[in-house]
């Protein structure tokens, strides 16, 4: 498996992975949203404050997963935090260690950038949560923190 920074040529595969995930989660995704998703991915790839890393399947040579993260100064913890906003692996590539390799890849980045911690949110009904994927990779679940969202 090859891991590298995403490029615009990866966008069709990234779109397919995201659509597949949304279908699995029964999240409504309409065809007219594909162009908006494409624009979001282009912006994500071009944004220097954001990093989108892809995994490439060694047999098919196509993108079969990605991780999107941001490194932020976080005064409350007196340092930097790497925040994972997305980690998705194509269904037929799951369970083969690809997600773990992506996590290890960005953990090295976090360490080299002087981050104090890595943080993420995960849906409690997701396959990764149910299988304890993040716990198996050294993450712990904080029970004293509420996750609030406000849609605009």
Angle separating helix axes 34-46 and 11-24, nearest 10 degrees: 120
Global confidence as pTM? 0.88
Name the pLDDT band for 30 (thresholds 50, 70, 90): confident
Task: Give the start-to-end residue ranges of the domains of the chain.
Answer: 2-136
Name the pLDDT band for 101 (thresholds 50, 70, 90): very high
The mean pLDDT of 100-110, rounded to a whole number, is: 94
Q: Which residues contact 126 (CB under 8 A, 6 or more apart)?
A: 25
Predicted confidence at residue 58, as pLDDT, reads 77
pLDDT in tens, 55-98: 887 778 889 999 999 999 999 999 999 999 999 999 988 889 99
Predicted confidence at residue 135, as pLDDT, reads 94
SS3 letters for 20-62?
A: HHHHHCCCCCCHHHHHHHHHHHHHHHHCCCEEEEEEECCCCCC
pLDDT in tens, 107-152: 999 999 999 999 999 888 888 888 999 999 999 999 898 888 898 9
Beta-sheet strand order (sheet of 115-120): 2-5, 50-56, 63-74, 79-89, 115-120
Q: Are 18 and 37 in contact (CB under 8 A)?
A: yes
Q: Are 126 and 141 in contact (CB under 8 A)?
A: no
- Structure-block tokens of residue 59: 């047999």
Q: Beta-carbon neighbour count of residue 74 at 10 Å?
A: 16
Name the pLDDT band for 29 (thresholds 50, 70, 90): confident
CATH number for the domain formed by residue range(s) 2-136: 3.40.630.30
């Amino acid at each position: 498996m090859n891991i590298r920074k995403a490029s615009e040529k990866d966008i069709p595969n990234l779109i397919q992975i995201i659509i597949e995930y949304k279908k699995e989660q029964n999240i409504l995704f309409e065809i007219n949203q594909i162009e908006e998703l494409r624009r979001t991915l282009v912006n994500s790839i071009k944004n220097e404050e954001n990093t989108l890393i892809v995994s490439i399947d060694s047999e098919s040579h196509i993108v079969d997963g990605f991780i999107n993260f941001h490194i932020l100064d976080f005064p409350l913890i007196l340092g930097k935090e790497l925040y994972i906003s997305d980690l998705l692996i194509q269904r037929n590539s799951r369970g083969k260690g690809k997600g773990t390799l992506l996590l290890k890849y960005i953990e090295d980045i976090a360490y080299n950038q002087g981050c104090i911690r890595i943080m993420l949110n995960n849906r409690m009904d997701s396959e990764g949560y149910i299988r304890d994927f993040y716990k198996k990779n050294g993450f712990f679940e904080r029970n004293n923190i509420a996750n609030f969202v406000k849609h605009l």
